[in-house]
Structure 1
């Protein structure tokens, strides 16, 4: 599934090319993904637990021949319609993600020995964050509806590509570490306050999985100028990432995370953020994106809950050997 996912995710970058988009390359990517999906059908379905086989078969059929499947995506690419390609790509990636969630738990790679004592998320999870206005004002509804003092944002966190970062975040969420945290708006981001001393936490190493690779790099940022691109890009409105540690940019903050408010007008070549590949991105906003732009400095996270993925979160009994950044 990782080869299929990587082939499709490459198209996200190709779509950002402002002038003549390389539709031929996009078509080749989808055909590669389609071939792998067909050739590995038995392997893909065999990795799904018996009680979920029917659901898995249904999703597999959708991925190949469904309205938002790979065959339909090839048709949209042939028509050179970027909007339809974008929608079809999102649908195919969603189906791939759903199939991965059904597959047997566990990571497809081995973590480095020195990181085995960190919390980790082996798969995806969903976090629901309720944000409350601090000044008595209200959030505006996206399409009519009542004004409200608090609003909910949902994010999907990706332990397939960032198991340590997503795992540490999930641990903090389940411990209530973000309940009551204040938010600040800076540049193109909404960031939590510095939680130093507020909770017991550790600095997780910078964790970035390069596109086309099958395991993350640690403590090593990517060089976008040299063509290195991450599987989880920052250049998406509502991307969720950890801030850097105040001691070293090779580590993430043990607590601070931010929502990235991507704006193509303030981006570099190819529509990529100037900070692409420099932060540990571990998730994306899937509901409540309209809320992010309405958050003001001083607004508060009323609560944060892990509503899906608890069974994929591993919390080592002993964390004594974890090396924090210095």
Structure 2
């Protein structure tokens, strides 16, 4: 069942290959590593035939495949459209947009900020409060006392925006949530005054915790602006488990052979507004305790991956039907109200589109699937760990190809310490379970 997964088509462009216990068909492509220039030569050496087979035609990878990898890397750096993957679609579609069009300003990498901007709301007044509070993170990178001066400007800008826009913010609250939203706004306003005192006392250590607290209030206000679920899921998916809103889970991992870390709890926020089918499928599996006791099956510095059950199946077998349960590829494009299903953005010709849930943050959570079958995801999940030449934030070859449905928002840095064989002791839903509709775990008992 397990297969050695080649690092990419061309061994000369990567420092090493990784092995994995994930079935070959469910692995996502690794990015190129160690790219130093365009003059790399392909030092192809024959390996065992089964290790380098193309899934579609059974032929070993060749010099042609190496050239494709180099072309892809060149295209990413130069912005020149290149031939794309999968290989059988190379002649049909260019993959990559002009990166200068994609990158407009520094990319947002904070998972909390990404989740706030992903909410289906349109209220400029609250965003004008949010932005300067988020900018405090950059201000704290300034050396010496100048950092606090910059933070103070951020806080005063946010406070001024709150006072000037409060009426518009309150008018944007959903009627059923208005009382709670106003309560949060009052706490936010009081928190701004407390922040000023912190800055007057030059208490730098208290800045980041206060920033986090105020942004939690902002995020709560923004969630209170969402009035119900904003669109209809396509009819063919309406009977599947759906997460119509947000939920959060705590994943407790037992870490082996690490003297500095015995166990860790990762807090993960799941976004059903932009991925209701994907997030709903996951929450349903969590409630079935599908992942409890399962080992981490891939941890190579690029991603952490799990979800392959024991036995020949590569995903979840629904006991009520005794058949695999698969879900469609589900991606929401920025500016659109509802996701697109069953096709990559490349296949749709949306080369310059950005996704609502991008692979920007350390700990971005997404579904693994068969590389050549868009609608083959089931239970295998992965977390992206770091950027590389082919996976920079805001210009990511994974965006639009794999369904993101959440972010690790607490203890995400410890994902880098996870190894193959570490055990997921439990995953528990800690909020938002009432947003899950059509839960199949209840039907099965």
TM-score by length of 2: 0.52
Q: CA deviation at 1:297?
A: 1.3
Residues 1:151 and 1:47: Cα distance change in structure 2 (over 3 Å): same
Work out the CA distance in 1 between the residues paired with 2:335 and 2:406.
Answer: 19
1:46 aligned residue (165, 171, 175): 175
Does structure 1 conserve the Cα–Cα contact (< 8 Å) formed by 2:359 and 2:393? no
Work out the CA distance in 2 between the residues paired with 1:38 and 1:245.
Answer: 49
SS in 1 for 2:257: coil
Work out the CA distance in 2 between the residues paired with 1:270 and 1:104.
Answer: 27
Query: Where does 1:87-102 land on structure 2 (aligned, <5 Å)?
Result: 94-95=216-217, 97-99=219-221, 101-102=223-224
Is it true that 1:170 corresponds to 2:170 in the alignment? no
1:258 aligned residue (382, 390, 410): 382
Work out the CA distance in 1 between the residues paired with 2:338 and 2:416.
Answer: 33
Work out the CA distance in 2 between the residues paired with 1:213 and 1:307.
Answer: 29
Is it true that 1:206 corresponds to 2:329 in the alignment? yes
Q: CA deviation at 1:253?
A: 1.6
Larger radius of gyration: 2
Work out the CA distance in 2 between the residues paired with 1:10 and 1:220.
Answer: 33
SS in 2 for 1:305: strand
Question: How many equivalent pairs are there?
Answer: 270
Residues 1:197 and 1:109: Cα distance change in structure 2 (over 3 Å): closer
Query: Where does 1:1-326 land on structure 2 (aligned, <5 Å)?
Result: 2-4=121-123, 39=168, 41-48=170-177, 53=179, 55-60=180-185, 67=192, 94-95=216-217, 97-99=219-221, 101-102=223-224, 106-133=228-255, 136-138=256-258, 140=260, 147-148=261-262, 150-183=263-296, 184-186=298-300, 188-195=302-309, 196=314, 199-200=317-318, 202-223=325-346, 226-245=351-370, 248=373, 250-263=374-387, 265-267=388-390, 272-315=395-438
Residues 1:177 and 1:42: Cα distance change in structure 2 (over 3 Å): same
Work out the CA distance in 1 between the residues paired with 2:165 and 2:403.
Answer: 29
Work out the CA distance in 2 between the residues paired with 1:182 and 1:57.
Answer: 44
Does structure 1 conserve the Cα–Cα contact (< 8 Å) formed by 2:248 and 2:270? yes
Residues 1:137 and 1:318: Cα distance change in structure 2 (over 3 Å): closer
Q: CA deviation at 1:91?
A: 7.8
Q: Which has the higher strand share?
A: 1
Residues 1:105 and 1:4: Cα distance change in structure 2 (over 3 Å): closer
Q: CA deviation at 1:227?
A: 2.0
Q: Deviations 1:129-176 (Å, cap 9, x if unpaired)?
A: 11113xx41263xxxxxx42x211110001111111111100000100
Residues 1:108 and 1:41: Cα distance change in structure 2 (over 3 Å): same
Work out the CA distance in 2 between the residues paired with 1:10 and 1:113.
Answer: 38
Higher relative contact order (CA 8 A, sep 6+): 1
Residues 1:104 and 1:270: Cα distance change in structure 2 (over 3 Å): closer
RMSD of aligned Cα (Å): 4.0
